[in-house]
Structure 1
């Protein structure tokens, strides 16, 4: 979806805010080809969906008009559900450590051996476990240390919603990634939001368990 600009200030503001030196760095940041940036400047257009997805911490009103607050951190924080600690070992959603992921996917009671903290998250009633994001591969969607709520999916009749974020239990360990169609029916494409991480194909028979990420929460 293209937006007509009076002048290419939007792209300049992005470069200024993220300290990007030139159009080549801007193209890498947005995940588009360098000639796309050239065309956007020349035609005074841009893809609003790409801008919105990549510039998660910039207020869109400021970016488009130069007015208002530069950051949208506060509004983003307000939209994150708050998880309250549970007083009962049988209530709430368990926060699972990486070492217990296999048990979390299968729902086995062995997970309880780790004495997981449990949290009540009214917004995500379908969530079955919580995990902490590690690393920067899903930045800017998720930062390292963010807590995501997950819902287990049956492997017998798995149906991926393309471009959704999933937690995958694989022979490479647990992955939090977007899933897209692979080169054939036996593979899926594993994609990070951080463009510094190259996408790769993964055979379906190397995926042992799957959970859909249904949201990010903030612990109280």
Structure 2
């Protein structure tokens, strides 16, 4: 994507944001630390950087061709739906429920999000999420109980963390490939992060180097099967 094409990104990102009825803070805070920088970008007085534009495109599954030219569909089709189109299968609406335990994917390069969905959930408050997953174990009880279904969305900018909120953390070999759902808190050392269980029976914090985090997903909330 050329610099000249990126000049058009700002107004088109504003078009998407307004269509989603989201504020600057809501739309850009999962991606960037300085949200106010996007106001001049949207107004066309400042050009978005290459890395930042890639993060926005990835987070919201935006069609880069439309973003650059205004031609085509606004949103891209993800890998799973591309496969469905190739096989002339019916495209499902909503967010996939993937019946896996992410801890089973704690090592290697296997992406649990590419596993086949059992069904799709069209629940508007969580339709910006990447997947629904079942809860395993009771370390997060009573906030999240075993068997409940959580909605997760990947965090692109790992410097933007909502302290005290629950996240699915997937770490690399330097942290023993730990994969867990925990509440995240600030550490006195900026390069580290505190992982804490919600269940008071699980005592003791886990201290993790931020650099060890391979993937990070915020838990947007949960649903019960009565809502499906």
TM-score (norm 1): 0.52
Does residue 161 (structure 1) correspond to residue 140 (structure 2)? The answer is no
Could you report, residue by residue, the CA deviation over 1:29-49 in whole angstroms, capped at 9, with x for unpaired residues?
xxxxxxxxxxxxxxxxxxxxx
CA distance in 2, matches of 1:136, 1:122: 27
Q: Which runs of 5+ in 1 are unaligned?
A: 1-86
Structure 1 counterpart of 2:187: 182
Structure 2 counterpart of 1:214: 220
Structure 2 counterpart of 1:57: none
The structure that has the greater radius of gyration is 1
Structure 1 counterpart of 2:134: 132
Contact 1:89–1:118 under 8 Å retained in 2: no
Q: Which runs of 5+ in 2 are unaligned?
A: 1-88
Deviation at 1:134, TM superposition (A): 0.7
Alignment of 1:36-115 (within 5 A): 88-96=90-98, 97-98=100-101, 99=104, 103-104=111-112, 111-112=114-115, 114-115=116-117
Deviation at 1:184, TM superposition (A): 0.5
Does residue 199 (structure 1) correspond to residue 205 (structure 2)? The answer is yes
Deviation at 1:218, TM superposition (A): 1.5
RMSD, aligned α-carbons: 2.3
Contact 1:94–1:119 under 8 Å retained in 2: yes
CA distance in 1, matches of 2:117, 2:143: 29
Q: Secondary structure at the match of 2:189?
A: coil
Deviation at 1:181, TM superposition (A): 0.7
**More strand as a share of residues:** 1
Change (3 A) 1:118 1:133: same
TM-score (norm 2): 0.50
Q: Secondary structure at the match of 1:123?
A: helix
